[in-house]
Amino acid sequence: MNVLVFGAGAVGLGLSSFLVQAGHRVHLVGKEKTVVALRENGLKRRGIFGQACFSPQQLTASSNLAETGRETFDFYMVCTKSFDTENSARQLKEESTLAHQKSPIVLCQNGWGNAEIFARFFPEEQVFNARVITGFIRPEPHVVDVTVHAQPVHLGSLFDGDFNRLRALAEALSLGGIPSAVTGDIGKDLWAKMLYNCPLNALGAILQVPYGHLGENENSRALMEQIVAEVFQVMRKLGYASHWQSAGDYLKDFYDQLLPSTYEHESSMLQDIRAGRRTEIEALNGVIVREGEKLGLDVACNETVRKQILFLQNKPPL
């Protein structure tokens, strides 16, 4: 199987490592610094799934799509940040042969709304989503650490596409070592990730603590519970279903299962702020604020943490 991974950050490197381990060919498209490191050193994975090293001959990488020429791929996995979604779709449409192919495009991104953006550039039946609740950190351009893994990777379609087309990819990821499966309920899974990310990602960055610490203090718990309540009401008002009947039902699983399994993980938003990078706040809490205001709902807690992240993201260095 031949897979193009667009975006060679932590998630892109992490998922690529499992595909290469399963014996499949991967071509990564990323920033020049990352591409040079991969070509010189190969790809190295560490962490909870064990250590694995892949030589430069076991994968290919480029800083642009032009280098792929007329090559065809069985899958296109998009692992860019959510704020780059429109640019990623445009590049794949204009600078690759994807516009003339029917291969599945699988969006492995945070937040809500990415599929709708891609559907402006490609047929809906070609656009799929992946729900990834695995912590990836990239300490070096060619090195990825897997810090936590809460649930299997789920692959599916928000547009009633044929998710059976994704079985080969799910099997490849599973064979490489990360449990994966296709599902007809990817919408529920993506909203489950919103319910998970919206309280943890921003607050973890604002308070500068790992996820587990947020559950140990009554003040941070109160904030998380209000954020979850707001996410839940926006989701319902937008007409989407959930794996849980109420915010209370979700919070029970959140405290009993999800939070303990990711106790030591530091949010990607905290990593971005430390590195002086743009965050994905607008695709997470920002979505809840925008949609909630349209619906006339009170989303004050999500708005507060959104504003705090924007301050931290944009404040000048001391």
Summarised one tens digit per residue, pLDDT across range 62-74 is: 999 988 877 889 9
Q: What is the mean pLDDT of residues 53-59?
A: 97
Residue 135: band (very low, low, confident or very high) from pLDDT cuts 50, 70, 90: confident
Fold designation for 2-184: Rossmann fold (3.40.50)
Give the span between the Cα atoms of 83 and 91, in whole angstroms.
14
| Per-residue model confidence (pLDDT) at position 318 | 58
* Domain boundaries 188-314, corresponding CATH code: 1.10.1040.10
Does the pLDDT at position 53 exceed 90? yes
Residue 264: band (very low, low, confident or very high) from pLDDT cuts 50, 70, 90: confident
Give the span between the Cα atoms of 14 and 234, in whole angstroms.
32
pTM: 0.93
Give the span between the Cα atoms of 215 and 252, in whole angstroms.
12
Domains of the chain, residue spans: 2-184, 188-314
Contacts of the segment 303-306: beta carbons below 8 A, 24+ positions apart: 305/202, 305/203, 305/206, 305/223, 305/227, 306/202, 306/281, 306/282
Tokens 């209370």 sit on residue: 248
End-to-end CA distance of the chain: 49
Summarised one tens digit per residue, pLDDT across range 73-118 is: 999 999 999 999 999 999 999 887 776 688 999 999 999 999 999 9
